[in-house]
Amino acid sequence: MKFLVINGPNLNMMHFTEPGVAGQLDYNGLLDYLELCCTQMGMEVEFFQSNHEGDLIDEIQSAPGRVDGIVLNPGGYAHYSVAILDALRLCSVPAVEVMLDAPDEREPFRKTDVVSFGCQGHFIGEGPQGYLHACIWLAQLLRTDGSTKAHIVM
């Protein structure tokens, strides 16, 4: 099983902390961790990051026939990108959304998540672990009939 992990704007600049773990994990460390965990579970992952909406759309459109599923953290585009939503709906590859933190705890304009309407699952506010949980859930979805929905908010 192969997944495409797509990260939107500014995520390449992030540093992550995990409860109970000393220090911080940078973006490349996050990708290494996710690749290691997925490989151990028999999943292959491919990574893509861009700060440009059109690049994210192009990557989503290239997914059919190349990968089995998409794990997407759209960053700030989550709150207004109908174009990314449309790309997800048109590409016919199941997608799961990841948000590192809970938008409800931030500015009021972040409460609307347009991109979520194109995703079969949502892992919100779990930090870096959300990516791993999304991959596991997506693998389970693909092994079943695909009709399950997930909405996990921490």
Contact assessment for residue 70 and residue 6, using Cβ atoms and an 8 Å cutoff: yes
Q: What is the pTM of this model?
A: 0.88
8-state DSSP, 112: -
Q: What is the pLDDT of residues 100-130, one digit of tens each?
A: 887 777 777 777 889 999 999 999 999 889 9
The SS3 of residue 151 is strand
- Helices H / strands E in the chain, number of each: 4, 8
Q: CB count, 10 Å around CB of 121?
A: 23
> Could you give the CA distance from residue 5 to residue 56 in angstroms, rounded to a whole number?
11
